[in-house]
Structures are given as structure tokens and as C-alpha cells.
Structure 1
Amino acid sequence: MIILAVAALAWAASRRWPIVIGSVVTLLLIGYFDMWEDTMRTISMIIVCTLISLVVGIPVGIAMARSRRVRSVISPILDVMQTLPSFVYLIPVVMLMGIGRVPGLIAVVIYAIPPIIRLTDLGIRLVNKEVLEASDAFGSSSWQKLVNVQLPLAMPTIMTGINQTIMMALAMVVIASMIGVQGLGQPVLRAINNQYFTMGIFNGLAIVGIAIIFDRISQAFGQRLQRHKELGHA
């Protein structure tokens, strides 16, 4: 069922058979090498972290695009979040909440959320001013202008932010395994500690495979939105 769902999602996003077949083959290989359960734990963690990042990050990005004061406050915070080493996120989370899945989820969200905030802000600010003036001329309210004009035109840039958020979350999975997050990160950590070369390589390749699937699907969806935007302008 999971493989069929991923195949359907890949087809809906890309309409390209190579991406669909590549996604299916990658998942079949993961199952063949007995990494399915850890892979599903990792995918569930990534999906939850990405959804939380979107729910929090997109409104913050919108607020930054609409207010210079908000941007001046949030931008330095994002700079700090993006420059701190990923291990540093684990220290306050573990001190406050201990070891487990929820602290790991919080650490991953903090690490992964800056791209969606920045690219939502950038996408909205790059919307053509003439289009905004036209919407004002038609009597659009601020909310109507945001929902019907700015967000649709900024969606390709926002999709790039979603793509980067997913990649950042995946990059944090192995590190979050140090505080008890289950998934592909734990076998990699065990392989490092015990010098199990083969275990580390196979689980690392599984993480790469998941990253490629998410990356190709999200990029394909962003490209479709970009083509739709260009056709709309035409």
C-alpha cells in the first residue's frame, strides 16, 4: 500500500514514468534488504516534521514579507538557527525534555524550518508589483490579495522551500538518533560505534534513496506549478 501510494504521488506530481519506476524500485530494494520498518519510521518522522514546519513557517514567512519590523526581528534568529552546528540543537532539548521521540522531533523541526520561512518571505516579496496594483484596482482586500494573488504566484518558490525543509529534516535524522529517535539513523549510529561497515553503508544508502524520492517528487511538483504560472501569465 505504501509503495502504491508513493507511486501514485510520484505520478501525480511529475507525470513521468522514470520517476515513478525509480521510486518503486528504491522502496522494493529497501524492503528486500530488510530496512523497511526503520524506513517507515524515518518517513513518518520526516512527514510530521515537515507538516509542523509548514504550519509554523509559512505564516511566519508571510508576516516577514508584509512587515519590515517582523523581518528585522526574525532574520537574525534565522541566521543563528542556520549557522549553529546541528549537534547544538540537541543540548537544550535534551536538558528540558530528556531523551525520546518528541525531543528529537522538536530538534528536527528547529533545524529544518528556516528554509520554508525564508523562501515564503522571498516568494511573496518577488511578486510583480504591477500585478498587485491591478488587484488593488479591482478593489481586492489585503486578505484577498494574499490568498488569490501573492500565494499562488509565490508557490513555486514556496515549493523550493518545502523541498529544502524535507532535505534538512532528513539530514537531521541520523543526528537525532543520538537522543532516541527511531529509524534509519539508529543503525547508522550503531554501525559507527561498532565499525559495522556494511550496515552503515546500506542504511546510509536507504536514507539517500528516500531523499532522492522526496526531492524528485517535490521538484517535479514545483516545476508543474511554475509551468502553470507561466501559462497563466501567457
Structure 2
Amino acid sequence: MHLQTNGVVMKFKGLTALDGVDIDISKGEIVGLIGPNGSGKTTLLNVISGVFVPNSGRFRMGDREWSSVSLREAACLGIRRTFQNIRLFPSFTVLETVEVAAAWLDRGDRRENALRALDELNFRQHCGRIASELSYGMQRRLEIARAIAGKLEFLLIDEPTAGLNHAESQELVEVIQAIRERRGCGIVLIDHDLHVIMNVCDRVIVLAEGKVIACGTPQEVRRDPLVINAYLGS
């Protein structure tokens, strides 16, 4: 199964954030999404996941096609996401945080789905802790656990290693790879750490000024003159 966008345009008060974006993500692959600040990376995740309604364009996943979708509808389709800025309920326990996400889908046993997600991130032992009292790195992992509770076809992850040290980043990368292996889901990963992108991703898509300027293996993208000029530098 594939998750595809075709001709997606997103404008904000005259500013074109996405300008006819076409991407194609397969289940089972990890695709990096990189580009300069303001290139449209997070906006693309937002229109795919239903946070924003695009001005035009189409989306397709399997035999489903749509022009816009709500955040909940996208989640029920199995399109789940994390955010660049961590968004947790500060007074909820770890288990309650993940259970709320599982219950929102109205599918399966919410406790069972929540515990499965926590197990995948080796987090069950922290079930009773208050989310806001966790370290920053642990909150990052909790947000991913919340995102994978229940049906998961494609996982969109925005800046998961931001603010983490090298060891924490490496541990989170291993968690992301394990989710792909266990669930067989497709993953779209935004991260400014190019070492992470180039070493974990099967393919890399590069955005600049709201347009796709390159797509290929990490090695191909690293050598692309347009990418070097727009983003990587000499």
C-alpha cells in the first residue's frame, strides 16, 4: 500500500507554503523529509494528517482517495503523527496519555492498545508516572507511544531528536526502526540531524520553497546539485 499526494497546494495569506507537491510513500519504508527552514516540511505533514485543509490537491491511500480529511479521520485511516513541539496532558499519567489516544479511534480495547504501544517503546514500567514529570527525552518517546496506539499504517514524525543528546537520539532512532519492523508501517521522518536522516532512511525527499526538488536514496540526494545549492552547502 502507498500513501500519495498529488498537486498539493497550501497557502497562508498569500504565502505559498506548498506548491504542487507530489510524494509517494510505501508501507515498510522510512522516508526522510528535509529542506531549509520554511520549505514546507511540517506543513506537508499537517495537510496529510488533517491539521490543515489544503487549497487544492488530492491524497490517496490504498483504495481511498480524498481532497481533505480531519485529524481524527486521518488517525482512523491509520495515518498517525507526532508534533515538533511536544503536546502532552500535563496531569495525566503515562498510561492515561496513551489510552486517550487509543480511545479516540473507537477501535479495539483501549487499554490493550495502549499497553501494546508502551511495550513497543519499553515504557510499561512508567505507566503510573505523571507525563509532565518525565525527562524531555522520555516525553519524546511517550509522544511516539501515543501516536502508535491502535491502527497504524503510516507514521509521520516531526523532529523527534530535537533537544536530545547523541545517546538519546540513537536510542530513539532504534525505537523508530523497531516500530517499522514490528508494524510494517511506512514512516515519514523530519529531522535536522542529517546523520540521522542519511543513516536511517531508505529514501529522502527534499523540499525547497514549497516544492520537491529531489527524491532518491540518501547517497543520491547528497550528491544532487540542487540539494547542495539549496540546503546542504558545499
Q: How does the TM-score come out when normalised to structure 2?
A: 0.25
Bigger CA radius of gyration: 1
Identify the structure with the greater strand proportion.
Answer: 2
Higher helix share: 1
TM-score for both structures, normalised by structure 1: 0.25
